[in-house]
């Protein structure tokens, strides 16, 4: 059995926790909205058609913000289609996912649902096929109190109070050739800057997210961020990051080390943004909105026929079923976002229900938790106060793709009501870990859970919905020293009071 030692210094503060780091994402894609959160004919549907069992799971998940309505979908979206009387709303073709959009759910219904679950709306505007005027119209409709054409139209639609949406995305993945209306960095940077300037002229306290490159593997990566920020730096507050990971060809060790790539991604974007700021001789810092991240078996979906020319309504698309190994990597990615919380101030798990999601549903049937549900829900619930960066001494695991990775990684949080330690064991053997928490001044272990299984590919399915879940973790605190055994390929959390 291997060993590792960790020291948590209360002075090694990364940043105070911004709860928006625990955000998620709902796109009009597949069964995320229709037959996911919204299914009027379901036995558990409320008076507005939203599934109460799904609502309960979303509350348990602890998603603090929801990015909406896309995603690739937004680049062809007309927001006006989703407001007003439902019987008058048009059915449109969604070119992003080759499906029909009924527009039965739009801004008002979705924002009302978010009020029920206690989440903040993060709204995206269409800069693929539309532009400045449409963004200003949507802003007026959503946020202006009353007395203008569009704010009064919102009231006439039954919503007299403004939604007061503060965080807005200026399009989505605009460097991607798959994106309707994709652009060069120069063209997008100019449009984003003009849109941002106009939106802040209408409401100066908005927080605006400009599109970064669609991923670190894109040929545009780095240079795209530099060019876009040269245009938009003075008007925006965040630059977006998107990253998805999967296991390829049975290479579990590389998959387990995926967080190393996420670190590279974050540090590269931060360096690029700061270089632009330095050239502009400004003290302003651009923050990162990691508003799409997850495990996604993209290769398998690209090779399938689930996105085709048949134009269905709410087809089954991108419905990955996640394993224990997936959840362990997922947990390590969330730890990495916290580790860089000084600059990653917002993040969105993509997505929320059915589509590469922690929650799955069956039409007319059950809703259940995927394996990835557990690291997110526990971290969102336990993390408070400020993020601390522990010092970890452990062995390494060699991966073909990323080289040497620490067998054990950790991140901690500390607040008025308690402290928490989050750990991942990437190795194929158990590790005995000694954690010095004496500086935190905690007296007892309040909670200790772990996610692992003898079968790292065990999953929760419609036929076996509770095959995988959290297990008790034997964590012992004695005189400021915490001792714990981490099982092979595991994610764990410990709360101290």
Contact 272, 421 (CB under 8 A): no
- The strand pair at 2-7 and 367-369 is best described as unpaired
Contact 151, 161 (CB under 8 A): no
CA distances, 266 to each of 239, 336, 466 (Å): 11, 9, 35
Q: Cis (ω within 30 of 0) for the bond into 109?
A: no
Query: How would you label 246-259 residue by residue, b for 16+ Cβ within 10 Å and e otherwise?
Result: bbeeeebbbbbbbb
The residue behind tokens 């990684």 is 409
Contact 496, 477 (CB under 8 A): yes
Distance, in Å, from the CA atom of 372 to the CA atom of 375, rounded to the nearest integer, reads 6
For residue 143, the Cα-to-chain-centroid distance in whole angstroms is: 24
**Active site residues per annotation:** 173, 292
Distance, in Å, from the CA atom of 361 to the CA atom of 465, rounded to the nearest integer, reads 11
What are the residues whose beta carbons fall under 8 Å from the beta carbon of 434, sequence distance 6 or more? Answer: 3, 4, 5, 6, 481, 482, 483
Q: Which two tokens stand for residue 193?
A: 């800057």
Q: Which two tokens stand for residue 195?
A: 């849109």
Q: Helix, strand, coil % (nearest 5) of the chain?
A: 30, 30, 45
CA distances, 136 to each of 85, 142, 418, 441 (Å): 22, 10, 44, 51
Contact 422, 410 (CB under 8 A): yes
Go through the chain and tell me how many residues it has: 497
- DSSP per residue, 123-192: EEE--SS--HHHHHHHHHHHH--SSSHHHHHHHHTT--S-----EEEE-S-TT-TTSTT---HHHHHHHH
Q: Which two tokens stand for residue 299?
A: 């290769």
- DSSP per residue, 180-224: TT---HHHHHHHHHHHHHHHHHH-TT-EEEE---S-TTSTTTTHH
């Amino acid at each position: 059995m291997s060993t590792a030692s960790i020291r948590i210094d209360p002075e090694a503060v990364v940043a105070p926790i911004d709860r928006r780091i625990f955000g998620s994402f709902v796109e009009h894609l597949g069964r995320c909205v229709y037959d996911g959160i919204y299914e009027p004919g379901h036995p558990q549907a409320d008076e507005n058609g939203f599934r109460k069992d799904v609502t309960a799971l979303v509350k348990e998940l602890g998603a603090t913000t929801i990015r909406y309505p896309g995603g690739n979908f937004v680049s062809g979206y007309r927001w006006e289609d989703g407001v007003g009387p439902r019987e008058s709303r048009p059915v449109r073709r969604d070119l992003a996912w080759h499906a029909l959009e009924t527009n039965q759910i739009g801004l008002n219904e979705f924002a009302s649902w978010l009020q029920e679950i206690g989440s903040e709306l993060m709204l995206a505007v269409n800069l693929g096929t539309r532009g400045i005027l449409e963004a200003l119209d949507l802003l007026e409709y959503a946020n202006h109190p009353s007395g203008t054409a569009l704010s009064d139209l919102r009231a006439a639609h039954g919503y007299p109070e403004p939604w007061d949406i503060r965080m807005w995305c200026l399009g989505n993945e605009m460097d991607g050739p798959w994106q309707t209306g994709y652009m060069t960095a120069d063209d997008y940077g100019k449009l984003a800057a003009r849109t941002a300037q106009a939106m802040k002229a209408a409401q100066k306290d908005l927080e605006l997210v400009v599109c970064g490159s669609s991923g670190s593997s894109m040929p545009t990566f780095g240079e795209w961020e530099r060019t876009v920020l040269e245009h938009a730096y003075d008007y925006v507050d965040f630059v977006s990051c998107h990253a998805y990971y999967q296991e390829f060809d049975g290479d579990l060790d590389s998959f387990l080390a995926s967080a190393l790539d996420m670190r590279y991604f974050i540090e590269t974007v931060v360096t690029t943004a700061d270089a632009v700021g330095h050239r502009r001789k400004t003290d302003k810092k651009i923050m990162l909105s990691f508003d799409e991240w997850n495990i996604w078996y993209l290769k398998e979906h690209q090779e399938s026929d689930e996105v085709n020319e048949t134009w269905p309504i709410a087809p089954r698309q991108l419905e990955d079923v996640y394993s224990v190994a997936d959840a362990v990597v997922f947990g390590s990615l969330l730890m990495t976002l916290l580790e860089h919380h000084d600059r990653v101030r917002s993040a969105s798990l993509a997505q929320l229900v059915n589509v590469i999601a922690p929650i799955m549903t069956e039409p007319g049937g059950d809703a259940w938790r995927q394996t990835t549900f557990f690291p997110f829900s526990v971290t969102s619930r336990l993390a408070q106060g400020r993020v601390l960066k522990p010092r970890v001494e452990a062995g390494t695991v060699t991966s073909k793709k990323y080289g040497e990775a620490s067998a054990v990684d950790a991140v901690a949080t500390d607040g008025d009501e308690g402290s928490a330690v989050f750990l991942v064991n990437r190795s194929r053997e158990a590790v005995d870990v000694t954690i010095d928490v004496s500086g935190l001044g905690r007296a007892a272990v309040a909670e200790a859970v772990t996610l692992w299984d003898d079968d790292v590919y065990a999953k929760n399915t419609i036929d076996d919905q509770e095959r995988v879940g959290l297990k008790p973790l034997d964590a012992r605190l004695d005189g400021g020293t915490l001792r714990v055994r981490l099982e092979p390929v595991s994610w764990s959390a410990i709360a101290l009071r």
